[in-house]
Structure 1
């Protein structure tokens, strides 16, 4: 019977010097083999067996059902290697031994136990937390990822998510969702698992302009996202949010926890036009993998080829303010008051309220602080990407949301298309009059599908690499 791994310590040289790196790695691998063998034949100490059940139980059975990755025996060796490496680092740190060790790959050490991969490329199955109207899920689908379900507290999300994505919608607060519920959704789907989401960004948004958001419940939602990762241990994790979140303690805690769970993590800010989005939207995107290094996507659209407002919405039917396209209820322009109509007519594309005559200025423009609101009551420019689409992009007074040419504000359809949704995307059932406020919220809070598609492509490419390594 092997000696307990919990009692094992790395041996040092006669003078207390650290052993050569090769000797250390051999010792780790030797102990990994012993502890793996002990687990597989039902021997070893009670603590060792309990450790493996705790760390591997759900993971091994899930992999076996899904038919991907190494066999349970191989995963046992991998986890043993990882656990022993951590033990070694702790012991070495206590004794002053350098700990920057390059460990052998978990797949190369498990070659005897590799299972043959299916003839076709393994599938990726995603659950989208805080799914909204389905922007992130749509992008993932466009990249070839299968969307199993979406979760959101807003009942208005149900119709667009289920209608357009043909996936299950769960009307629930993510704070109340459990790992068992997600496991039940994934259980019938073979392949790799992706947990995705965009926690509501209002507490982190720069649009709050210094408001005290410390008491808002939405701060906890990223923590619940982290909890569900812990409870399900998916193969991949991705999240998207406002760039300001990257400086927050709650985000750093989220990243640290992923790394504690042995995920490789990468994150950074993406710029919409680099990914073919006709909108100057910058967002923080994170990707994490249980299968080694993964990187956030890199856009491949050059500045000279950025998609413009005109290219995206220039062919939609012409409307006046207050008019509705009879063939598309979302292509409806909000009615302007007489003074706002005069302001619209006095505005030039890309200009500001400073272009107006004195009698059209609003009280806020006459204050010294008005200089910081120059984009408000502004028109977009035809030959550039749009500004960031918000939840009130249908309102001329809340940003640069005036149509470049027509004397009206954007329609919901135009806002959705500038977010990257296809023209035929449905937000309300046929015959139902859309609420500007409700649908505007769905559109403005959505993850642009272009970002989801880019992330999906990165994950699919990672799966291809894994498949080749295991072949």
Structure 2
């Protein structure tokens, strides 16, 4: 059973990579991408360099409004519409038009006649009015949906990344597979947990040490080559003041509050006066815990807990990519800033792989219904039936 997927708002392709890592009992890949899209040119080039020339660069609304565009048939549509519209960091989110980009997502689900879709976004989506609208539209098109907030560390990713996932299916209610059973546990949690949420023999969370301890000290300040561990393992040129601040908080877990305590003369006034909001800044990671959420400016320690646990420096692009579970041979295109944006915006590869596993299981359980859906779609195509959409 070969399943075709479309990846929207694809970025570097974290979703696609996770799906492509799923194999059947014969060791052959289950999922094959037939179309993808992203509005960022560098991200589209990254995607195509790794997965083949089928990521279309451009505005998804313009693409759908072009009568010459033909969206190919697919079994699954995946993607993460830009999440800034829902983010708590966006004070103008009530007026943010990017919140509505789930509409073209659903229209491509319709045009491709997919049987399943998976949408990823920030957790705030699930308590928004937009979620109710997504559910309403999905139900009207024959989909039953399930949604949950999932922590990547619970699925083997060395990162405490929490994201909302929505799975919709026209085959059956996906509740028998979604959310996926957790494969990893927090070893520090001594409270009794619901074992039904976990797979048998769930392992401890993967840590910063597991992900990056083998890397040498970074060299240079620029990207070196297209792939390999060294390509993205470069440093920065910090000021002497920044270096002094790094040395003032040498222990893992320390952050700007420790800097203020031990070296107030090195602490900016804006940090001293800041009592709320983003307060976990200029912090060191812990060796034996997962990383914090990797965002697009992870190379700036003043933006979060992005200092190396031991060395006096921010984490590198390679280390951030490993926290997202991109392999060292993955090719990134674009400038240092653009590559960082691609890494921070990506769906964590290991999380995508776990989602892909349950999607595959869902298709196996309802194989006969999938065949009927494909036959109906082919019949409609042969009869020239036009799929009505609205963007």
TM score, norm. by length of structure 2: 0.81
Distance between the aligned counterparts of 1:201 and 1:247, measured in 2?
Answer: 14
Deviation at 1:397, TM superposition (A): 1.1
Distance between the aligned counterparts of 1:349 and 1:358, measured in 2?
Answer: 19
Distance between the aligned counterparts of 2:134 and 2:315, measured in 1?
Answer: 37
Partner residue, 2:269: 363
Distance between the aligned counterparts of 1:358 and 1:136, measured in 2?
Answer: 44
Q: Is the 8 A contact 2:153 2:159 kept in 1?
A: yes
Q: Is the 8 A contact 1:319 1:325 kept in 2?
A: no
Q: Is the 8 A contact 1:364 1:370 kept in 2?
A: no
Q: Which has the higher helix share?
A: 1
State the Cα RMSD in Å: 2.3
Partner residue, 1:156: 42
2:342 to 436, 442, 446: 442
1:398 to 285, 294, 303: 303
Q: Give runs of aligned pairs for residues 384-423 of structure 1, distance below 5 A.
A: 384-423=289-328
316-325 or 403-412, larger mean C-alpha shift: 316-325
Larger radius of gyration: 1
Partner residue, 1:332: 234
User: Relative to 1, partners in 2 of residues 1:166 and 1:340: Cα closer, same or farther, differing over 3 Å?
Assistant: same
Q: Give runs of aligned pairs for residues 147-296 of structure 1, distance below 5 A.
A: 147-178=33-64, 184-186=71-73, 193-208=75-90, 211-294=91-174, 295-296=178-179
1:307 to 200, 206, 229: 206
Distance between the aligned counterparts of 1:342 and 1:255, measured in 2?
Answer: 52
Distance between the aligned counterparts of 1:166 and 1:394, measured in 2?
Answer: 29
Q: Is the 8 A contact 2:285 2:305 kept in 1?
A: yes
Structure 1 residue ranges without an equivalent (≥5): 1-121, 187-191, 429-433
Partner residue, 2:388: none
TM score, norm. by length of structure 1: 0.67
Deviation at 1:181, TM superposition (A): 7.2
Distance between the aligned counterparts of 1:309 and 1:325, measured in 2?
Answer: 24
Distance between the aligned counterparts of 2:75 and 2:206, measured in 1?
Answer: 33
Deviation at 1:288, TM superposition (A): 1.0
Distance between the aligned counterparts of 1:351 and 1:374, measured in 2?
Answer: 12
User: Relative to 1, partners in 2 of residues 1:213 and 1:316: Cα closer, same or farther, differing over 3 Å?
Assistant: same
Deviation at 1:214, TM superposition (A): 3.2
Residue 232 of structure 2 aligns to a residue in which SS?
Answer: strand
Residue 300 of structure 1 aligns to a residue in which SS?
Answer: strand
216-225 or 195-204, larger mean C-alpha shift: 216-225
The count of corresponding residues between Structure 1 and Structure 2 is: 337
User: Relative to 1, partners in 2 of residues 1:157 and 1:286: Cα closer, same or farther, differing over 3 Å?
Assistant: same
Structure 2 residue ranges without an equivalent (≥5): 23-29, 188-203, 372-391
Distance between the aligned counterparts of 1:463 and 1:183, measured in 2?
Answer: 25
User: Relative to 1, partners in 2 of residues 1:182 and 1:457: Cα closer, same or farther, differing over 3 Å?
Assistant: farther
2:18 to 121, 135, 139: 139
Partner residue, 1:354: 257
Deviation at 1:158, TM superposition (A): 2.2
Deviation at 1:325, TM superposition (A): 6.8
